[in-house]
Amino acid sequence: MKELESLLKEIGFSEYETRTFLTLTVHGTCTADEISRLANIPLPRVYDTVAQLQKNGFVMLTKTRPQRCKANEIKFVLNNYLKRRKTELNKEIDTFIDRSSKLNFSAIKKAPKPPTADDWKIWTMSGKDNIRKMRHEFENKTKNEMLIFSGDGSFMKEDYEILEKLIKNDVKIRLILRRPENKQCKENIEKLRSFGVDVRTGYNGAMKGDVIDNKNVLSVIKYGKPNSNGLPGDEKNFSYEFLLLNNPVFVKIFKDYFELNWEKLK
């Protein structure tokens, strides 16, 4: 019963709606007075609560006096309600996407402001899918050079299309990663080199990420979860955090560290 109560509240039931529906489910057909007493709800609130439940298909009402209320079969009405809500939400999302596509973002004028020390910040984001999309957004804007720190290069499969396009646009891309330890890693390196990525192996540093156009550093930090074994590909045991740094001092530190390792790996 606790799980059902929790689910009803999570899908949008109010406290009174939850109590009323559970009371009817347990005690069967009830009058408003009985619902008020059994569910501990003020009598005036019973009527609007029951009306909302009836609107959503969860209860039925008699035409008698006093009026009596009955809960519909929970599995049936819950599935129907959730399917209806899914359809409604999909329509809302489609509407928002359509409206978003028609927005004129170029009309947004930003007030000019000279950069100050307060403008240099470290921005963070979590969630692997969010990180992937944000990383791709920045990578797509690369104009001249991208320096990449990697581990086994496995995550870069998601970047093949972007990297190939950038190289065709004369962007210079250099990558350092650890020595290939398996067939998949070797295949990743061959694929990247076929695009024109300049790859050197043997890197064993902890730093992972990109230095883009000597202006931004994108760094992804991978955290092991309890009982994680650390094997590549065991993604469910890890969480990720994305860091964006645009402070020239930090950018220079990352770039210098890359160049130092690049020379060592000749």
Task: Out of 45, 77, 109, pick the residue that ends a domain.
Answer: 77
> What's the number of domains the chain is made of?
2
Q: Is residue 52 part of a domain?
A: yes
Distances (CA, A) of 129 to 188, 223, 231: 21, 15, 20
**What is the residue range of 21's domain?**
2-77
This prediction has a pTM of 0.55
Task: Out of 55, 77, 99, pick the residue that ends a domain.
Answer: 77
In angstroms, rounded to a whole number, what is the distance separating the alpha carbons of residues 136 and 158? 9
Q: Is residue 145 part of a domain?
A: yes
Task: Quote the distance between the C-alpha of residue 266 and its chain's center.
Answer: 39
CATH number at residue 57: 1.10.10.10
Task: Out of 51, 77, 103, pick the residue that ends a domain.
Answer: 77
49 & 143 share domain: no
Sign of CA dihedral 148, 153, 154, 156: positive
67 & 196 share domain: no
CATH number at residue 165: 3.30.870.10
156-207 pLDDT, tens digit per residue, is 778 888 888 999 999 999 999 888 878 888 888 888 899 899 999 988 887 7
DSSP string, 127-162: -HHHHHHHHHHHHHT--SEEEEE-SSSGGGGGGHHH
43-64 pLDDT, tens digit per residue, is 999 999 999 999 888 999 988 8
In angstroms, rounded to a whole number, what is the distance separating the alpha carbons of residues 69 and 71? 7
Instruction: Output the tens digit of pLDDT for each of the chain's 266 residues.
Output: 788 889 999 888 999 999 999 999 999 999 999 999 999 999 999 999 999 999 888 999 988 888 899 999 888 888 888 998 899 889 999 899 988 888 887 777 766 666 555 556 677 777 777 777 888 888 889 999 999 988 777 777 788 888 889 999 999 999 998 888 788 888 888 888 998 999 999 888 877 889 999 999 988 777 765 544 444 444 566 677 778 888 888 899 999 999 999 998 87
List beta partners, residue 59.
71
60 & 182 share domain: no
Task: Quote the distance between the C-alpha of residue 95 and its chain's center.
Answer: 21
In angstroms, rounded to a whole number, what is the distance separating the alpha carbons of residues 158 and 143? 20
Distances (CA, A) of 142 to 18, 39, 55, 145, 194: 53, 62, 54, 7, 20
Alpha helix (H) ranges present in the chain?
A: 2-10, 15-27, 32-39, 43-55, 74-101, 128-140, 160-168, 183-195, 248-264
Asked if 146 and 167 count as a contact pair (C-beta separation under 8 A), the reply is no
Asked if 180 and 201 count as a contact pair (C-beta separation under 8 A), the reply is yes
